[in-house]
Chains A and B, each alone.
Chain A
């Protein structure tokens, strides 16, 4: 049942990514929610607007969620493609370990960056 669990989470991650990327498109590229999440003048990607979003806990949490789900979705997909090449069991083990380490490493780096951006934005807001 392990593969069923992996695949179910793969599908769930796809739905979460669809929602979060949809929000990203609405905020950053359509301007439909711009007045809420980009209150300063200029584009949504301007420094002030980015700092405004980075200082909010909701955004930090959503960045971490998006990163985690996107990494899981992508790396599981890559694992599936690689395993379809009928690799030897020993090679499969190595691939599995490399992908887990890569995923955990990139997730850690991303979380550190998201928290760092939040801290910097908070410092910037205080002046």
Chain B
């Protein structure tokens, strides 16, 4: 359905097109899209696909800034297409391109595999000394709200790749691990349930790890979830140096609790009344 012309404004979408099987290099194709107030870039791309060119290709899923699939370069800034309103960033012209620092699979689809390979290298999951402890379903790890706060910001990452696209180091050093995997390493290092810092350090502090970050801060500026990967990387560097100098505070991972009431009660919570049955 074409939007009502009285409420719309034409915006030229300059979209990067590329089919590696056919095209020698990416090219720009321009589409005129009637944009209404509140319309997102993703809506604009849908309009193009439904009305102007059915071959336009991009990746998306949730349409609400949660899945991280629709990261792309919008007027030179890595952003989520579903989370960005056209009229917030453009009046008449809008450049839509795939995320830089990644190989293009087709049109607006970047190949995110290198990012996820780096992510996997840093063991982005809870590590404990004994596997049995992780897999034992009869209890749960106790974590206080303060302990949760220590890493919560970094846990909001949706792996959209915007930070990787904005990173100037990654633009020249393709072996650099990148902001997302390093922030994930810091997120798990800070988790009170985790005991895997030693396992991650050789990779995080490796030749293409955290120390290659110049703290340009672009990753944090473009992050659609406010994760602040630059801060995570600086804290990771400090942790690595303190570990090397043997000045780091020894981390004792939290214990697993078995059964209700086994953990320390929260402050100002009265004790449960005595059992009346059983």
Residues of A within 8 A of B (CB): 1-8, 11, 80, 83-86
Asked whether A4 lies within 8 Å of B172 as measured between CB atoms, the reply is no
Asked whether B173 lies within 8 Å of A84 as measured between CB atoms, the reply is yes
Asked whether A86 lies within 8 Å of B173 as measured between CB atoms, the reply is yes
Q: Give bound CA distance, A55 to B29, whole Å.
A: 74
Q: Residue-by-residue, is B134-158 near A (CB-CB < 8 Å gives 1, otherwise 0)? A: 0000000000000000000000000
- Which residues does chain B contribute within 8 Å of A5, judged by CB atoms? 244
Residues of B158-202 contacting chain A, CB below 8 A: 169, 172-176, 201-202
Asked whether A7 lies within 8 Å of B173 as measured between CB atoms, the reply is no
State the main secondary structure of chain A at its contact with B: helix
B245 within 8 A of A: yes
Asked whether A4 lies within 8 Å of B212 as measured between CB atoms, the reply is no
Residues of B within 8 A of A (CB): 169, 172-176, 201-202, 205-207, 209, 211-212, 237, 240-241, 243-245
Asked whether B207 lies within 8 Å of A4 as measured between CB atoms, the reply is no
- Which residues does chain A contribute within 8 Å of B244, judged by CB atoms? 1, 4-5, 8
Chain A proximity of B174: nearest CB distance (Å): 5
Asked whether A3 lies within 8 Å of B211 as measured between CB atoms, the reply is yes
State the main secondary structure of chain B at its contact with A: helix
Asked whether A3 lies within 8 Å of B207 as measured between CB atoms, the reply is yes
Q: Give bound CA distance, A2 to B205, whole Å.
A: 8
Chain B proximity of A50: nearest CB distance (Å): 38
Chain A proximity of B127: nearest CB distance (Å): 18
Chain A proximity of B197: nearest CB distance (Å): 12
Name the one of B172, B201, B206, B237 contacting A86, with C-beta atoms under 8 angstroms: B172
- Which residues does chain A contribute within 8 Å of B207, judged by CB atoms? 2-3, 83
Chain A proximity of B55: nearest CB distance (Å): 33
Q: Give bound CA distance, A86 to B237, whole Å.
A: 22
Seed contacts A8-B245, A84-B172; 12 additional CB < 8 Å A-B pairs: A1-B244, A2-B207, A3-B209, A4-B205, A4-B243, A7-B211, A7-B241, A8-B241, A80-B212, A84-B173, A86-B173, A86-B174
